[in-house]
Structure 1
Amino acid sequence: MRVLLSTYGSRGDVQPLVALGLALQAIGVEALVSAPADAEFVELLGREAVPLEPAFMPVRQWIEQAKQSGLRLPQLAAKMVPAQFDAIAAAAEGCDAIVATGLFPSVAAARSVAEKRGIHFSWAAFCPLMVPSPHHPPMEYPGWSHPPELTDNLALWAFNAQAKKALFGEAVNTHRASIALPTLDNVRDHVFTHRPWLASDPVLSPWQPTDLNDAVQTGAWILPDSRPLPAGLEAFLASGEPPVYVGFGSMAMHAAEDPARTAIEAVRAQGRRVILGRGWANLALIDDQEDCFVVGEVNQQALFARVAAVMHHGGAGTTTAAARAGAPQVVVPQVADQPYWASRVTELGIGAAHDGSIPRAGSLLAPLRTALAADTRERAFAVAKTIRSDGAVIAAELLVAEVRGKRQ
């Protein structure tokens, strides 16, 4: 069996597919990943020996071009859908199934490839808010804020389907017509399918069954990491009390004024040392004091187990990694599903959420104090024991069963 795992997005979209690819390889399935060929993803897939089939363009290049073009989402989708279709179609040669995640136009392209080839297709989400349900509202899209008169979740999901059609319907249907596939009225539900996969931990993000779909929660797809920490980082960790890790992943943090300084000063005010994760915000040291250390991409599983707290943007992967490590969290949510993860961290008592997306002088002090409190650490340790690590294995076995079931 040969399976293509397709995504277009940041590390939070790519790394879980690598975990699924390894789980598939472990049960004898040939797995390859179609993802942006940014240097960090090329290095990741090469290190794990999972073949990479490049998406239509590196994601950082796409982001820069999108900003410079001034195009709106419908026009950007019209460019992405056919380009991703061609890239995914080439990568899917000889495949029996496609599993897709990432930006909606990319998933729509993957769905069309699967239809043209007559092979199995599964869509996976990393957060429950992505999956239609009467138990929660959908996320908002730019230009499609939820009307104040709509308060019922089902009505909001119907509005969400209209928004998806308005933003992406023309791009998807124009391309489908060009390749002799029928056009769609409800683009969202066709792309997401009636049986979506929810690749998130059931403790961190519980899912309630609904008649709207037959969603399956597999658990988070966690990539095991056995890499040692760099010698300099090891020396820093050993030289004093556990520091606070600060990193915002793939968030550029353009709206924040000097986020590194803001975070460092807040952590220092608590009498703690700091490890800065450089990330896409390019966080850097603000002085030559010995209480701060900066790192690039490292083994977060090993590092988070040795810090006093983790301050981050609230991505699904970072939230899960910190929770598994038993590290209290301060979440500074920026976009998309990140406010959801911030709320879950607060509700579980394993950390605190920053009020708003822009950290300022003093605004980090209260959530940091909560995260560094003894009872928060005790609760974080307790929750860590409940986080599952077998989600990718469950998904791999599920995929094989579904593909074989369709063949019979």
Structure 2
Amino acid sequence: MRVLLSTYGSRGDVQPLAGLGLALQRIGAEALVCAPSDAEFVELLNRSGVPWAPAFMPVRQWIATAKQSGLRLPQLAAMMVPAQFDAIAAAADGCDAIVATGLFPSVAAAQSVAEKLGIPFVLVGFYPIILPSPHHPPMEYPGWPHPPELTDNLALWEFNVQAMNGLFGAAVNTHRTSIGLPRVDNVRDHVFTRRPWLASDPILSPWHPTDLTDAAQTGAWILPDTRLLPADLEAFLGAGAPPVYVGFGSMAMHTSDNLARVAIEAVRAQGRRLILAQGWANLAPIDSRDDCFAVGEVNQQALFTRVAAVVHHGGAGTTTAAACAGTPQVVVPQGADQPYWARRVTELGIGAAHDGPIPRAGSLAAPLKTALAPATRERASAIAKSIRSNGAMVAADMLVRAIRGGKP
């Protein structure tokens, strides 16, 4: 049995698929991840031991291409869909099912490959708000803001169908007809299917059943990381009280001026040392003081158990990793699902949300104070004990049963 796991997006899309791939291997199935060939993703997949195949273009190259071209989302989708279809189709040779996540044009391409091959297809999301439900509104898309007169969630999800048809319908249907597949009137529901999977923890991000979407929540897909922390980082950790971790992952944070200085001064004002993760924002120390330590790629699962708080952008992966570690969080949400995770961290009492996406002088003080309070750490430690660690194995078992039964 061979399964293709397809994505086009950030590390937060790639790493969970590697976790599922490893779980599939453990129960005797073959897994192949089709993902962008950015160096950090290639390193991650090679380290996991899950074979990989390249998507049509590295993500950083695609971002640069999109910016330089000045094209709008429909035109960019028209470029991505056929290119991703070719990459995914090549990787899917001999596969018995496809599981896909990431940017919608890539998922649509994966769905078309599965349809052409006549094999099961599963869409997976990593947060509930991506899926239609009366319990929450959809996220807005560029050029399609929610009409102010629409306040009911069901009405907004109907509008979401129009938005996604307007943005992606032409790209998806043009390609479908070119490869002999019929056009679809509702690209969102066709690609999402009636039975998508939700790979998030039921405590951190509960799914409320609805007739709109028959989602299967598996729990988060966590890729185990057994790497030791570097010796110089261990020395820094051992030289004083637990520091605060600050890192924004694959967020470039271009809207934030002097971000490193703002973060460092905010942590110092709390009387804490800090670990500064470079990430795509290229954060670096602002002086030679010995209370700030810069790191690149590192085992977050090990590191987060050793720090006083985690300041981050609110991606699903980082939020889950900090929650599993029982470490309080400060979320500085930039967009997409990140405001949702900021809200969940606040609602659960395991941290605090920064007000807005741009940290400025003094704006981190209040959320840091909340995160560093003893009561917050006690609550974070309690929540950590309730988080499931077997989500990837649950999904692997479900997938094997779906393939044997002929449908997801």
Bucket of the pairwise TM-score, normalised by the shorter protein: over 0.9
Per the TM alignment, residue 169 of structure 1 is displaced from its structure 2 partner at its CA by 0.3
- Aligned counterparts of 1:219 and 1:352: Cα–Cα separation in 2: 23
Distance 2:220 2:157 in 1: 24
Structure 2: how far apart are the matches of 1:388 and 1:27?
19
1:381-408 deviations in Å (ceiling 9; x for gaps) = 000101111000000000011110118x
Q: Give the superposition deviation at 1:266.
A: 0.3
1:237 is matched with 237
Q: 1:230, 1:63 → 2: CA distance?
A: 32
What does 1:263-302 correspond to in 2, within 5 Å? 263-302=263-302
Helix, strand or coil at the partner of 1:124? strand
SS in 2 for 1:208: coil
- Corresponding letter in the other structure for 1:114: A
DSSP-derived class of the 1:285 partner: coil
Give 1:212 shift.
0.9
- Per-residue CA distance 1:275-311 (angstroms, 9 max, x = gap): 0011000100100000000001100000000000000
- The CA deviation at 1:331 is 0.2
Equivalent position of 1:223 in the other structure: 223
Where do 1:155-194 residues align within 5 Å? 155-194=155-194
Query: What's the CA shift string for 1:307-366, capped at 9, x where partnerless?
Result: 000000000000000000011000000010000000000000000000000000000000
Q: Output aligned runs, 1:60-71, within 5 Å.
A: 60-71=60-71
SS at match of 1:294: strand
3-state SS in 2 of match to 1:99: strand
2:349 counterpart of 1:346: no
Deviation at 1:129, TM superposition (A): 0.4
Matches within 5 A, 1:34-49: 34-49=34-49
Counterpart of 1:307 in structure 2 is 307
TM-score, structure 1 normalization: 0.99
1:187 shift after superposition: 0.2
Q: How does 1:12-91 map to 2 (within 5 A)?
A: 12-91=12-91
* 1: CA distance, partners of 2:360 / 2:161: 36
Q: Which residue does 1:126 correspond to in 2?
A: 126
- Amino acid across the alignment from 1:311: V
Unpaired runs of 5+ in structure 1?
none
Distance in 1 between the 2:321 and 2:353 partners?
17
Aligned to 2:385: 385
Shift in Å, 1:98: 0.1
Cross-structure match for 1:364: 364
| Separation of aligned partners in 2, 1:281 and 1:213 | 36
1:135 corresponds to: 135
**Aligned amino acid, residue 329 of structure 2:** Q
1:93 is matched with which residue? Answer: 93
In structure 2, the partner of 1:10 is 10
Q: Give the AA of the match of 2:366.
A: A
Deviation at 1:214? 1.2
Query: 1:115, 1:239 → 2: CA distance?
Result: 57
Which AA in structure 1 matches 2:14? V
Per the alignment, residue 114 of structure 2 pairs with 114
After superposition, the C-alpha distances for 1:14-65 in whole angstroms (9 at most, x for unaligned) are 0000000000000010100000011111111111111111000001100011
Q: What is the alpha-carbon distance in structure 1 between the residues aligned to residue 383 and residue 62 of structure 2? A: 38
In the aligned structure 1, how far is the partner of 2:62 from the partner of 2:172? 19
Unaligned ranges ≥5, structure 2: none
Partner of 1:213: 213
1:348 aligned partner, one-letter code: L
The number of residue pairs the alignment matches comes to: 407
- Paired residue type of 2:93: E
Separation in 1 of the partners of 2:385 and 2:161? Answer: 38
Q: Which runs of 4+ in 1 moved over 3 A?
A: none
Q: Partners in 2 of 1:282 and 1:161 — Cα distance? A: 38
Q: Give the Å deviation of 1:245.
A: 0.1
- Find the residue that maps to 1:101 and give its secondary structure: strand
My pick for the range that moved more, 39-48 or 95-104, is 39-48
CA distance in 2, matches of 1:213, 1:250: 30
Shift, 1:213, TM fit? 1.9
1:90 to partner: Cα distance: 0.3
Root-mean-square deviation over aligned CA pairs = 0.6
Tell me the CA shift for residue 375 of structure 1.
0.4
Distance in 1 (alpha carbons) for counterparts of 2:45 and 2:385: 29
* Residue type of the alignment partner of 1:376: T
Return the alpha-carbon distance in structure 1 between the equivalents of residues 372 and 143 of structure 2.
39
Paired residue for 2:374? 374
Give the SS at the match of 1:194.
coil
Query: For the residues of structure 2 that align with 1:47 and 1:64, how far apart are their CA atoms?
Result: 27
Shift of 1:139: 0.6
2:45 alignment partner AA: L
CA apart distance, 1:135:
0.7
Letter in structure 2 aligned against 1:226: T
Separation in 2, partners of 1:100, 1:109: 9
Instruction: Give % identity.
Output: 79
Q: Distance in 2 between matches of 1:291 and 1:359?
A: 21
TM-score (norm 2): 0.99
Distance 2:32 2:402 in 1: 18
- Cα distance in structure 1, aligned partners of 2:45 and 2:243: 30
In structure 1, how many angstroms separate the alpha carbons of the residues matched to 2:234 and 2:162? 52
Task: Provide the rounded CA distance (Å) in 1 between the counterparts of 2:234 and 2:158.
Answer: 52
Q: Matched residues in 2 for 1:342 and 1:72: separation?
A: 29
Task: Give the SS at the match of 1:34.
Answer: strand
